[in-house]
Amino acid sequence: MINPAHIHDSNHSSKERHKRDFEFLADRLDQQGIDIEQVVRQLAEFEVAIPSWALGTGGTRFGRFPGGGEPRSIFEKMEDIAVVQSLVRSTPRVSLHIPWDEPDDPQALLDFALEMHLGFDAVNSNTFQDQPDQPHSYKFGSLCHTEAAVRQQAIEHHLHVIEVGKQLGSNAITVWLADGSNFPGQSHLRKSFERTRDSLIDIYSHLPDDWRLFTEHKPYEPAFYSTVVQDWGSSLMLAQAMGERASCLVDLGHHLPNANIEQIVARLITAGKLGGFHFNDSKYGDDDLTTGSIHPYQLFLVFNELIDAQNDGALTEAPAYMIDQSHNLKDPIEALLQSVMELQQACARALLVDRTFLSGYQEENDVLMAEMTLKEAYETDVRPLVREMRIRKGGSVNPINTFRLSGYRNKVKEVRTASSSYVPPQSL
């Protein structure tokens, strides 16, 4: 999709400058007792999935302003994801939404993915919209519904999603439910949660042995008075009720303003139930903005908890990372490149935290020095380190610049003509 020679040439033009920057940083870190080579190696292991719904221009209920050249099918979305991967080298897997991106022929999609050196991450169910020809409506909920037939329909949808995922080589399902109520009294708060729990237990009983199930909480929207799985406590209760292979997924946008998300992460790690992340950023709620655009320090603090737990052996299984964003204004590919670069930087910074000093200051209750230890890592310009990691994996020094110079968007604008009837799901 992006010619490797183009990446090589564009890297070549900044080679000397990058070399100087990298050596300068290596020297600085060496003085702090940090081996830059080890950090580059650890950073190279970081991987984050791209959702099939982030390649089209997002929208609000007020409007949508597509920039042209949007993918019209899951195959074209895969092409765009391959472009992202070729430039940043941390995104080798795709997270599918069913039925938005349900393949007619899963084997054909898998073959196409393999050709592009892509694989499949967690599959996502959708019981928040009614589908054509579906016998029962989700207007009043799905897994929580008062009627057993509606719950059964939603359970069967999840089993179908797992079946599609199995054919694609996926090994996890993420369950986000819109179930909730808009008015006090509309639904029985306790019973709707208990029905959801029992439906999930049913789904879990069909989960293949090597699969994981993630429950994703969200405080509000589309339900405005109560949401059944509104917080990490509810999500944890559900995961615990299901069993060992069920855990919680934290979407950074699914918290009320000022929530201490890094502490939620720490709690879920203690419970052995941190399953995954949806990365994005927000000013107000589920804004789906580019990762790190509003709260980059919070993103670093989340990674700080993850690296700390990894070092301590408290993270038994690597969480499933995914970017969950949807843009109204930015080019979707550029926005994804930007988010991945932010994630790479947050991860690199967290790898630089001097944990011996930090825990010493924490033990001595030296508040200021403990905080300064975190700031020392956070304020380090890690870009040369991150660029070096990308170069070594065959990626780009400057992904956005390389993407723009490639002319990819203009080329696909010509091919993906406006005559297509494809409408990205965000605008439905």
Q: Which residue's CB is nearer to ligand PSV, number 176 or number 361? A: 176
Q: How wide is the angle at C-alpha 296 spanned by C-alphas 374 and 48, nearest 5°?
A: 100
- DSSP β-ladder status, 226-227 and 180-181: antiparallel
DSSP-assigned letters across all residues of 148-180: HHHHHHHHHHHHHHHHHHHHHT--EEEEE---E
Binding to ligand PSV (CB under 6 A): which residues in 272-291? Answer: 278, 286
Q: How far apart are CA 188 and CA 180, in angstroms?
A: 10
Residue 252 beta carbon to Mn ion: minimum distance, rounded to whole angstroms: 9
Q: Please identify which residue in 22, 46, 138, 176 interacts with ligand PSV, judged by CB under 6 A.
A: 176
Is residue 386 within 8 A of residue 348, CB to CB? The reply is yes
Say which amino acid occupies 39.
V
- The interface region with Mn ion, picked from 14-22, 131-139, 250-258, 395-403 by CB under 5 A, is 250-258
- The interface region with Mn ion, picked from 229-237, 276-284, 351-359, 420-428 by CB under 5 A, is 276-284
Q: How wide is the angle at C-alpha 75 spanned by C-alphas 72 and 80, nearest 5°?
A: 80
Residue 231 beta carbon to Mn ion: minimum distance, rounded to whole angstroms: 15
Helix or strand holding residue 60 (H, E): strand 59-60
Under the binding rule (CB under 5 A), the answer on residue 286 touching Mn ion is: no
Residue 97 CA, chain-centre distance (Å), reads 13
- The interface region with Mn ion, picked from 13-21, 292-300, 317-325, 370-378 by CB under 5 A, is 317-325
Binding mask 197-236 for ligand PSV (x = CB under 6 A): -------------------x-x------------------
Which of ligand PSV, Mn ion, none is residue 124 near (CB under 5 to 8 Å by kind)? ligand PSV
Is residue 249 within 8 A of residue 239, CB to CB? The reply is no
Residue 280 beta carbon to Mn ion: minimum distance, rounded to whole angstroms: 8
Binding mask 50-79 for ligand PSV (x = CB under 6 A): ---x--------------------------
Q: Which residue's CB is nearer to ligand PSV, number 89 or number 217? A: 217
Q: How far apart are CA 316 and CA 380, in angstroms?
A: 29
Q: How far apart are CA 235 and CA 89, in angstroms?
A: 32
Q: Which residue's CB is nearer to ligand PSV, number 79 or number 251? A: 251
Helix or strand holding residue 185 (H, E): none
Q: How far apart are CA 82 and CA 358, in angstroms?
A: 39
Residue 278 beta carbon to Mn ion: minimum distance, rounded to whole angstroms: 4
Residues composing the chain: 428
Contact positions vs Mn ion (CB under 5 A)? 251, 278, 324
Contact positions vs ligand PSV (CB under 6 A)? 53, 124, 176, 216, 218, 251, 278, 286, 324
